[in-house]
Structure 1
């Protein structure tokens, strides 16, 4: 006889959301997890570059009009949740920055959908990925088991109760953590970082040697080593003046090949991490290949090749989870990225002038794009010429 609760339920095969909870060992000897990966400054900067930018862009609910135009659906309950305040504790920026960072680090971001009696979404409560287990039921439906961080009690949520943001997925159910995919490379970066920290703790590096023509016993060598380390080893003793006796001489050393290679590996690790997140190195303060002339194009590249994936993820996931099939025929969700693509003032002026001259842009619309106050009758002359 089978127990009632022995009904077959399977965890998604090779569930990356579960695997990301367990620090993975690497050949470098250090475990890699989303937590310690963020101690790498480039990882933190890449995550922040994407999460902060996505969170600061307005996420707008639009309504399709009969004539093909679109207008902001500011009277819809979901508009406030997406644009202003998703829950009582967070602003829209804080909420979207948090979930975007979760996806970048853990591969998945979750939020519980709260609805009123009429079925309108009134709040989105974030859930940390480490507290979520994704199960696929025999019926094919998805269930999210959410563990309470304080009590450990687990409560189930069905798919229509969860806003689920995913990175690339192999099974259509859970996203893959980029940290886990690149754990070998990140383990090497962490090992290099630890090596540097230990070197600084022991006095930065081997900057010289003590030498003498006299014969020293093992006891004398041990006593000299202990005395030297106690007085001059460590960053707290940096800069002290050494007094030598009994024929001792200090021979300074230049930077060794090992030191030079370590610095090169640290610089190369910046590019390696940037490849994982597809972030231009200039955005994480690596200015070796940057100049003022290519800064605008770098910004456009960032929007087109990096942000587009994450912006589309938010838009499509929100439409699927927060709007019903009937509502999706009339409403849609979209970011406003115009501010990122406008470029400098000279390029914007040329763009507006070309649009106004060609007749597909009005002066009033250009002023709106620049957040300038309206001027009554500014378009009258252009409309009269067109007539």
Structure 2
């Protein structure tokens, strides 16, 4: 029997070897695996900030269904059961909220799983299986053979992987991935200690960087009740004393003398938080400037945003598409060459003015119908607005650009 140095190693062994633990309450793997991944969402602000940023960006990308007509022709499909699943994966749940939860599972546990539930009308419902409630059972080559789910009645049940969408990152042992919280645990523990230390300073430290000095020849406090009266009156100027922010009155020639104690800057509170934010953002391959962990200029933040969906989130989006196309699309495609693609362009879209200028120059002519323009402005349709208005000088190729219509300056002719 092997020996284990920690509960984490025991959890890895239990998961990798498919050992079932008799536990009528919480699964033992919930306590031994993932090193507290399920707690970081509400205890680690840096992890929540970065993972929520990534999950929000990805989950709000629309998923479109296309028919591969030929190698050079694609047609978007909207009236198909698979398109309906993509539009509403789970009833009474917004698609972005559904995929947000799935992405957070992956970002914190390094695995996610969604059950495919066929419906009577030929459609399908998707049900998220929380990462804390399932494990992927693999063979000796780390190929997934079963999905082991902890059910509500307190038992494990093994399911056929064909009925699920799932993915997990690399793991040296087993097929359940390695939670990024394991890699970040030292940084997060250090951040927690720093927060506790600063909280202790603010709780027990001096509120006013000064002391009260009383003359040596002042009346003896030990023989009167003046000392207790003065201390009680001074407490009224502290928190919840009733006179916070007022000016206390000193007695018996007392003086207020400034002393050197810690200042808010000495606690390095803001710098410490930003450092942790930057470390976590770097671990998730996100530019710290995008989550406010590092100061940036307008130009470099714009550059980081341009790289966001290509270099930072691009691999995650590609994995998302590949899992859907490999595990969901074949179930509903009925042999048609359908495929799902994330419409990343919707997140990188320029402003309307920039789009109008770029597209107009690219096609060499007006590109929007009057009816489409009215629809963008939420105006009702009118008769005769479905034709594209093209200036004659553009239709006959008189100008290089449809925007090049301004007359030449006075005194100059067009060469």
**Over residues 322-371 of structure 1, what are the superposed CA-to-partner deviations in whole Å (9 max), with x where a residue is unaligned?**
133986871111111113223345643453244224xxx98259x98998
Distance verdict in 2 for CA 1:262–1:158, change over 3 Å: same
8 A contact 1:24–1:183 mirrored in 2: no
Structure 2 equivalent of residue 339 of structure 1: 346
8 A contact 1:113–1:162 mirrored in 2: yes
8 A contact 1:104–1:167 mirrored in 2: no
Structure 2 equivalent of residue 114 of structure 1: 117
Structure 2 equivalent of residue 4 of structure 1: none
Alignment of 1:242-253 (within 5 A): 242-245=248-251, 249-253=255-259
Structure 2 equivalent of residue 28 of structure 1: none
8 A contact 1:208–1:252 mirrored in 2: yes
**1:61 maps onto 2:65 in alignment:** yes
Distance verdict in 2 for CA 1:116–1:298, change over 3 Å: same
Structure 1 equivalent of residue 266 of structure 2: 260
Partner Cα distance (1:144, 1:229) in 2:
65
8 A contact 2:67–2:74 mirrored in 1: yes
8 A contact 1:61–1:334 mirrored in 2: yes
Q: Which of 256, 268, 279 is residue 272 of structure 1 equivalent to? A: 279
Q: Which of 50, 64, 76 is residue 72 of structure 1 equivalent to? A: 76
SS in 2 for 1:181: helix
Partner Cα distance (2:330, 2:289) in 1:
41
SS in 2 for 1:363: coil
Q: Which of 142, 147, 152 is residue 150 of structure 2 equivalent to? A: 147
Structure 2 equivalent of residue 376 of structure 1: 387
Q: Which of 98, 101, 106 is residue 104 of structure 2 equivalent to? A: 101
Q: Which of 316, 321, 330 is residue 337 of structure 2 equivalent to? A: 330
Q: Which of 295, 298, 303 is residue 297 of structure 1 equivalent to? A: 303
SS in 2 for 1:260: coil
Partner Cα distance (1:204, 1:99) in 2:
46
My pick for the range that moved more, 50-59 or 154-163, is 154-163
SS in 1 for 2:105: helix
Alignment of 1:177-196 (within 5 A): 177-196=179-198
8 A contact 2:110–2:168 mirrored in 1: yes
SS in 2 for 1:279: coil
SS in 2 for 1:90: coil
Distance verdict in 2 for CA 1:321–1:261, change over 3 Å: same
Structure 2 equivalent of residue 91 of structure 1: 94
Structure 1 equivalent of residue 411 of structure 2: none
Unaligned 5+ segments in structure 1 are 1-8, 26-30, 218-222
Structure with more relative contact order (C-alpha pairs < 8 Å, separation 6 or more): 1
Shift of 1:125: 0.4
SS in 2 for 1:97: helix
8 A contact 1:192–1:266 mirrored in 2: no
**Structure number with bigger Rg:** 2
**Over residues 58-96 of structure 1, what are the superposed CA-to-partner deviations in whole Å (9 max), with x where a residue is unaligned?**
0112111136321222232121111x2112231211111
My pick for the range that moved more, 153-162 or 278-287, is 278-287
SS in 2 for 1:156: strand
**1:310 maps onto 2:316 in alignment:** yes
**Over residues 144-190 of structure 1, what are the superposed CA-to-partner deviations in whole Å (9 max), with x where a residue is unaligned?**
22113x43233222211221133454468223222221011011112
Shift of 1:134: 2.3
8 A contact 2:69–2:75 mirrored in 1: yes
**Over residues 254-274 of structure 1, what are the superposed CA-to-partner deviations in whole Å (9 max), with x where a residue is unaligned?**
663895252332332222222
Unaligned 5+ segments in structure 2 are 1-12, 20-26, 222-227, 399-415
Supply the RMSD in Å over aligned alpha carbons: 4.5
8 A contact 2:38–2:132 mirrored in 1: no
SS in 1 for 2:112: strand
Partner Cα distance (2:355, 2:307) in 1:
18
Partner Cα distance (1:258, 1:235) in 2:
21
